[in-house]
Amino acid sequence: MPTSPPLRPTLLGTVAPWVGYLALALLGLHLLGDYLPDDAFIHFRYARNLAAGEGWGYNPGDPSNAGATSPLWVLLLAAASSVLGSVPRAADVFLVVALTVAGGATFAALRAVGRPAAGVVSGTFVTTAPLLLATRGMESPLYVALAATAWWAAARHRQVAAGLALGALTLVRGDGLAVAAGVGLWWLVRDRVLPWRMIGAAIAPVAAWLAYATVVFGDPVPGTLAAKMAQGDSGYWGEGPLFVKGLWELPRAFGMDAWALALVGLGVTGAVTLIPRAARPARRLLGGALLAAVLLVLTYGPVLGVPAYHWYYALPVLVIGLAAGLPIGFAAEQAAELVGDRAPGPARAGGVVLLACSLGIVVLVVYGGLRVTPGVFPTPHYVAAAEFIQARAAPGTSVALTEIGAFGWAGEDLVVVDYLGLLDGQAAEHLAGGDLAWWLGAYEPDWWVVHEPAWGFEQPALATVAFEAYEQVPDDIPELAFYRRRPAA
């Protein structure tokens, strides 16, 4: 009986998962509908200004790196939008590509250490993770794709490729250093030698950006980290280990707690029962990934004390997804052996049942995650607010408000004043001390948009003498009140 050439199943086994991940990424984008988190629009505005030749800054004519957490994400959006004609459209293309690469690289990394079945499942969990889909328009999917790519390259002993991925990852977000530490330690333990070519390839792009940012902005580090630390210190975001508590509070807030519990349960099962028995390459890969996640949680949690923003949890989601595929992959491998031609009838039947149960668990976890993927734009009132003010004010009018993303994107002719520290280090310094009353008299914005009822961030300034210089403008936009500075006498 003729047999198939050995290359064909290898190609099929390589290509089929990637096609599946692409299909799942497209499905995820479809389910998101018109959902976009408010902070996504901050990078959108940076990218639009850059593509339009107005420089690197949130407010045109005011060069600043303060509010752009991810310099590489801004550059990619600006470049792609010039071709695709729209920054949000470019972000969606990158979302699909990044989720596909994240799943494919996760699969390839586990296959490279001898766990192909687990790789297929883990890649599926990563591609469909609703907490990642909820970061649409932001840098987190790209972050996950580059982290998974770095692990794959390291597993294949490709130093330069791993280094370039880690360098790009650090430019996507600075906490990519945690992944670099995990990969570096993995390499050192495995090969007993420092991967100098990987280190050099990683440092080169980062050093180039740091030099540019230092010359142009005077500070190579985006102000977002200082702002988030100030938010944590202020007490307005809560008390205690905010980032650590976010590990269980965020899934509950998004309605994703059942999905998260299932994934964590599988991941812990894989880590506790299977990692000790896995081959050494697989143990080292997973150990390096777990180390990176622990470093990130400790840095953002006890060390820096930042609040729990869901896009900062991309790495823990990736690592949990990576580990969650292990028990199912192991069960699938055992089932495949039982279904083999030489197994007795009852054993083969048991193998079929085990395989069906494994597939059923994957389907349930994926369906449970996709079912709770957000699909509605959460801040249409900010877009309406921008249109309301632009109809009544000249271009260049300054407007202060608590959340600047969607408003700033829609109000492209307006100068946005952010008193929570993203655009101004001075604001972050006051915020760290819990002072949210100083800015109204210091900035004297032309307009101030306030929530109804007023949020805790807004109440201190409402009680100041400086607020007496403002009059309320009637509006019909729910949830918001508008105050305009009275003309000078």
pLDDT tens-digit map of 67-95: 778 899 999 999 999 999 999 999 999 99
pLDDT tens-digit map of 111-129: 998 889 999 999 999 999 9
Last residue of a domain, one of 326, 346, 371: 371
- Calculate mean pLDDT across residues 1-6: 36
Residues 32, 33, 35, 41: is their CA dihedral positive or negative? Answer: positive
Q: How far apart are CA 324 and CA 337, in angstroms?
A: 21
Q: What percent of the chain has pLDDT over 70?
A: 93
Under the banding of pLDDT at 50, 70 and 90, the label for residue 5 is very low
Asked whether residue 423 falls in the same domain as residue 347, the answer is no
Asked whether residue 303 falls in the same domain as residue 241, the answer is yes
Q: Half-sphere exposure of residue 488, counting CA atoms within 13 Å on the CB side?
A: 1
Residues 380, 385, 386, 391: is their CA dihedral positive or negative? Answer: positive
Q: How far apart are CA 286 and CA 292, in angstroms?
A: 10
pLDDT tens-digit map of 223-258: 788 888 999 998 889 888 899 999 999 999 999 999
pLDDT value at residue 338: 74
Nearest alpha carbon to residue 314 among 267, 365, 250: 250
Residue ranges making up the domain that contains 208? 15-371
**Domain contains 27:** yes
- Decide if 428 contacts 437 (C-beta within 8 A): no
Asked whether residue 91 falls in the same domain as residue 209, the answer is yes
Asked whether residue 362 falls in the same domain as residue 384, the answer is no
Last residue of a domain, one of 371, 393, 419: 371
Phi, psi of 422 (to 5 degrees): -70, -40
**Domain contains 72:** yes
| Gap between the terminal Cα atoms of the chain | 98
Asked whether residue 384 falls in the same domain as residue 297, the answer is no
pLDDT value at residue 10: 60
**Domain contains 3:** no
Tell me the pTM. Answer: 0.93
Asked whether residue 256 falls in the same domain as residue 197, the answer is yes
* pLDDT higher than threshold 70 for residue 11: no
pLDDT value at residue 277: 66
* pLDDT higher than threshold 70 for residue 7: no
Last residue of a domain, one of 371, 401, 430: 371
**Domain contains 311:** yes
* pLDDT higher than threshold 90 for residue 132: yes
**Domain contains 10:** no
pLDDT value at residue 213: 81
Q: How far apart are CA 136 and CA 110, in angstroms?
A: 26
Average pLDDT in the chain: 89
- Decide if 227 contacts 422 (C-beta within 8 A): yes
pLDDT value at residue 296: 95
pLDDT value at residue 65: 61
How many structural domains does the chain have?
2
**Domain contains 316:** yes
pLDDT tens-digit map of 297-347: 999 999 999 999 999 999 999 999 999 999 998 888 887 777 766 666 776
Asked whether residue 36 falls in the same domain as residue 129, the answer is yes
**Domain contains 24:** yes
Asked whether residue 363 falls in the same domain as residue 427, the answer is no
* pLDDT higher than threshold 70 for residue 12: no
Asked whether residue 288 falls in the same domain as residue 435, the answer is no
Asked whether residue 85 falls in the same domain as residue 122, the answer is yes
* pLDDT higher than threshold 70 for residue 489: no
pLDDT tens-digit map of 140-172: 999 999 999 999 999 999 999 999 999 999 999
- 474, burial (CB in 10 Å: exposed 0-12, middle 13-18, buried 19+): exposed
- H helical segments located in 339-458: 345-371, 380-390, 405-410, 425-432, 439-443
Under the banding of pLDDT at 50, 70 and 90, the label for residue 275 is low
Residues 21, 27, 28, 29: is their CA dihedral positive or negative? Answer: positive
Under the banding of pLDDT at 50, 70 and 90, the label for residue 1 is very low
Cβ within 8 Å of residue 472, ≥6 positions away: 481, 482, 483, 484
pLDDT value at residue 460: 95
* pLDDT higher than threshold 80 for residue 3: no
**Residue whose tokens read 């479809």:** 30
Asked if omega into 60 is within 30° of 0 (cis), the reply is no
* Widest pairwise Cα distance in the chain: 98
Asked whether residue 37 falls in the same domain as residue 161, the answer is yes
pLDDT tens-digit map of 52-66: 998 888 888 776 666
Asked whether residue 385 falls in the same domain as residue 351, the answer is no
What are the counts of helices (DSSP H) followed by strands (DSSP E) for the chain? Answer: 21, 5
Q: What percent of the chain has pLDDT over 90?
A: 67
pLDDT tens-digit map of 403-444: 999 999 999 999 999 998 888 778 888 898 889 999 999 999
**Domain contains 238:** yes
- Calculate mean pLDDT across residues 456-472: 94
